[in-house]
Amino acid sequence: MDKEKFIEMINHMESKVVAVDFDGVIHKSSLGFHDGTVYDDPVPGAKEALEALSEYYEVVIYSCKANPDRPHIKGRSGTEIIWDWLEKEGMSRYVSRVCFKKPNAICYVDDKGIRFNNWEQALQEISEL
């Protein structure tokens, strides 16, 4: 495959993916890391948002919980724990995959993100945290 076709393929794939952070965006995570489990309720509106997004995009969830180097909890990986919770909450059908690192995507929905416009604005926002 030549370079131009490869770039076109990647751009096409990215245009169909919306990446969504798990903790704080889908799962309330009101206690933070706590014991490493997925213990909380969904963020209000999360299920409806994932359903709406899934009509037009591939929804990919990313989470530090899915880190393959992270210890298992009660014999389950973080990825398995997230899928179990999504299934319990009726959201799994809207998600195509769960991963550890941010995937290539058209956009990212993340509760800890700072939208970059320029470094002055970014540094200002970081200093206000």
What domains appear along the chain, each with residue ranges and CATH number? 3-127 (3.40.50)
pLDDT of residue 4: 78
Q: Is 18 helix (H, G, I), strand (E, B) or coil?
A: strand
The pTM assigned to this predicted structure is: 0.86
Q: Which long-range contacts (CB under 8 A, 24 or more apart) does 34-41 make?
A: 35/73, 36/65, 36/70, 36/71, 36/73, 36/78, 37/73, 37/81, 38/65, 38/81, 38/82, 38/84, 38/85
pLDDT number for residue 11: 64
Contact 110, 104 (CB under 8 A): no
| Number of DSSP helices (H) and strands (E) in the chain, helices first | 4, 4
Residue type, 49: A
pLDDT higher than threshold 80 for residue 10: no
Rounded Cα gap, residues 82 and 65, in angstroms: 8
